[in-house]
Amino acid sequence: MSIQTEREEMRKQIEALLPTRTGWIVLCKIAKGEFEPLSFGVGEEPNPEMLAKRGRATLFEKIEDAKHYINITYSIASAEGHAWVQKCDFVIVPCYQDNLPGCEGNE
pLDDT in tens, 1-53: 688 888 888 888 877 777 777 889 999 987 777 899 999 999 999 989 999 98
Cα 70 from chain centre:
12
| Cβ-Cβ contacts under 8 Å for 51 (sequence gap 6 or more) | 26, 38, 39, 40, 58, 69, 70, 73
Residue 60 pairs in a beta bridge with 24
The pTM of this model reads 0.72
pLDDT of residue 18: 72
pLDDT in tens, 44-90: 999 899 999 899 999 999 999 999 999 999 999 999 998 888 888 89
Element (H, E) at 28: strand 20-29
